[in-house]
């Protein structure tokens, strides 16, 4: 059974999964949506907020990424698919970290790699 034509994110935005790279489209769509939310926060000048507020933005951003991933994977499960959750987290982390690097955002916004996991790779 294939993926649904689209999934709906928790805040109503749809991610098109009709293409041949639906898995990549899902992860990229999640990352782009959270980057858009982050861009709205950055209008407030994160550096001026102070370290505690910046740390909260980092935490909330990572929680949003994971929540949207689980929400999307749940919709794939309902459609009869069995996505590998651990692999999806790793893949989303890699995509997210590339976006953070390419947009010159602070490294603190990256998903941190578990030292045990880094040794396996």
User: What is the pLDDT tens value at each position of the chain, 121 positions in all?
Assistant: 788 999 999 999 999 999 999 999 999 999 999 999 988 888 877 667 778 888 888 899 999 999 999 999 999 999 999 999 999 999 999 999 999 999 989 899 998 766 555 444 3
pTM, two decimals, is 0.86
- The burial of 70, by beta-carbon neighbours within 10 Å (0-12 exposed, 13-18 middle, 19 or more buried), is given as middle
Closest Cα partner for 69 from 30, 95, 38?
30
CB atoms within 10 A of CB 12: 6
CA distance 14 to 114: 31
């Amino acid at each position: 059974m294939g993926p649904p034509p689209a999934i709906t994110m928790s805040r109503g935005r749809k991610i098109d999964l009709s293409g041949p790279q639906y898995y990549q489209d899902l992860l990229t769509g999640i990352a782009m949506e959270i980057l858009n939310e982050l861009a709205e926060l950055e209008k407030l000048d994160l550096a001026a907020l102070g370290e505690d507020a910046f740390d909260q933005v980092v935490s909330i951003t990572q929680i949003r990424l994971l929540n949207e991933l689980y929400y999307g994977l749940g919709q794939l499960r309902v459609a009869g698919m069995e996505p590998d959750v651990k692999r999806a987290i790793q893949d989303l982390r890699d995509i997210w970290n590339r976006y953070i690097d390419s947009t010159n955002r602070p490294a603190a916004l990256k998903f941190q790699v578990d030292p045990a996991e880094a040794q396996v790779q």
